[in-house]
Structure 1
Amino acid sequence: MQWKDITNPTQIGEIKQQPGYSLIFKHSTRCSVSAMAKRRFELDWEAIPADTSLYFLDLISYRNISSQIAETFQVHHESPQILLIKDGDCVLDASHSDISAEEVAEVVKTNS
């Protein structure tokens, strides 16, 4: 699996319009907790179905996009944070130590 970087605000609308599952990982490059959560997530992400699009946001560089994500998907901004999007709606959001690839896989399995 591989991250697709979010660098343009128009990508948020595109993610919202995508059918199926997409995941957004909001990462603070200045935070050791965020680095640890990302590393843990990547170690287990093979549990997530391969057809799930994985997006990565460097929220230090793209703070405005992070705010747009919170508004678009009606979630409180946190960092680090994952949002699992299904057919344009956020069906799971988690932050800090609650970020889990296994939980994402379970939600996908349950809601498919």
Structure 2
Amino acid sequence: MSLVKLSTSEEFKQAVSENEKLFLLKNSTTCPISHAAFQEYQKFAAEQDNPIFYLNVQEARPLSNEIAENFGVKHESPQALLFEKGEVKWDASHYSITYSSLSEQLGK
């Protein structure tokens, strides 16, 4: 499945309402650590049947901040979040974002 880029609050809300489980990566386009995490995320996304979402923090700062505020998760970049039924069930940042850490969340 492909990666789906989110830029607005409306896009995010629609994605959460349409997907019981939703992975979201907050990606920085200028950070080498974020680049490495994005590569792991892409590898993970390529094997999924459902859409996998991301946002670029530099382009969607208001959305990134809204997610941090509304879900009580401190903003980090890169940061992977797993939403289930509209709630954050898991998050990881920096070097903790790996293909295996993402895949582990599917078994839970």
* TM-score interval, smaller chain: 0.7 to 0.9
Q: What secondary structure does 1:24 align onto?
A: strand
> Contact 2:71/2:88 (CA < 8 Å) preserved in 1?
yes
Q: What secondary structure does 1:7 align onto?
A: coil
Aligned to 2:106: 108
The 1:32–1:107 alpha-carbon spacing in structure 2 relative to 1, beyond 3 Å, is same
Aligned to 1:34: 34
> Contact 1:6/1:55 (CA < 8 Å) preserved in 2?
yes
- What amino acid does structure 2 have at the position aligned with 1:74? G
Distance 2:32 2:101 in 1: 22
Aligned to 1:69: 67
Aligned to 2:83: 85
Give per-residue Cα distances to partners, 1:8-34, cap 9 Å, x unaligned. Answer: 111222233234211111111011110
- What amino acid does structure 2 have at the position aligned with 1:59? V
The 1:41–1:16 alpha-carbon spacing in structure 2 relative to 1, beyond 3 Å, is closer
Distance 2:9 2:44 in 1: 28
- What amino acid does structure 1 have at the position aligned with 2:11? Q
The 1:16–1:44 alpha-carbon spacing in structure 2 relative to 1, beyond 3 Å, is closer
Aligned to 1:50: 49
Q: What secondary structure does 1:107 align onto?
A: helix
Is 1:21 aligned with 2:25? Answer: no
Q: TM-score, normalised by structure 2?
A: 0.87
Deviation at 1:37, TM superposition (A): 1.1
RMSD, aligned CA: 1.7
> Contact 2:44/2:103 (CA < 8 Å) preserved in 1?
no
Distance 2:32 2:49 in 1: 28
Q: TM-score, normalised by structure 1?
A: 0.84
